[in-house]
Amino acid sequence: MRHSGKRIAACALAVIWISGCGVLGAPKPPAPAVPAGPNPDLGAVAPLLEMMSNLPQGDPARQAEVFQQAKDAAELQPTTSNKLRYALALATPGYSGADPVAAQRQLAELLARPETLLPVERLLASVQLKEVEQRLRRQGENTRMRDVVPNDSHDKVQSLNRRLAAESDENAKLRKALDEARAKLEAVTHIEQRSVDRGSGAPHSP
Q: Is residue 183 part of a domain?
A: no
User: In the predicted model, what is the mean pLDDT of residues 67-71?
Assistant: 94
Question: 111 lies in a domain?
Answer: yes
What percent of the chain stands above pLDDT 70?
A: 58
Predicted confidence (pLDDT) at residue 130 exceeds the cutoff of 90: yes
Predicted local confidence at residue 33, as pLDDT: 46
> For residue 84, what are the domain limits?
2-23+40-143
Q: What is the percent of the chain where pLDDT is above 90?
A: 36
Whether residue 21 is predicted with pLDDT greater than 50 in this model: the reply is no
Is position 51 within any domain?
yes
Side-chain-side CA neighbours of residue 158 (13 Å) = 6
pLDDT tens-digit map of 131-172: 999 999 988 887 777 766 555 566 766 777 787 777 667 666
Burial of 124 (0-12, 13-18, 19+ CB in 10 A): buried
Contacts of 39 (CB under 8 A, 6+ apart): 19
Lowest mean pLDDT among 96-110, 125-139, 175-189: 175-189
Q: Which stretches within the chain are classed as H helix?
A: 2-20, 40-54, 60-76, 80-91, 100-111, 119-201
Residue 10 forms part of a structural domain: yes
Helix axes 2-20, 119-201, angle to 10 degrees: 150
Q: What is the mean pLDDT of the chain?
A: 75
What's the rounded mean pLDDT across residues 183-197?
70
Q: Per-residue pLDDT for 39 more than 60?
A: no
Residue 112 lies in a domain: yes
Q: Name the residue with higher pLDDT: 15 or 105.
A: 105
Amino acid at site 200: S
In a domain, 184, yes or no: no
Model pTM above 0.75: no
Phi, psi of 35 (to 5 degrees): -60, 130
**Residue 148 maps to a domain:** no
Query: Residue 168 has what pLDDT?
Result: 66
The answer to whether residues 93 and 106 touch, using CB atoms and an 8 Å cutoff, is no
pLDDT of amino acid 25: 46
Residue at 85 is within a domain: yes
Looking at per-residue confidence, does 34 or 121 come out higher? Answer: 121
- Is a pLDDT exceeding 70 seen at residue 105? yes
- pLDDT for 194: 73
pLDDT score of 166: 73
Number of domains composing the chain? 1
Return d(Cα 106, Cα 113) in angstroms, integer: 12
Residue 116, helix vs strand vs coil: helix
Compute the distance between CA of residue 12 and CA of residue 39 in angstroms, rounded to an integer: 14
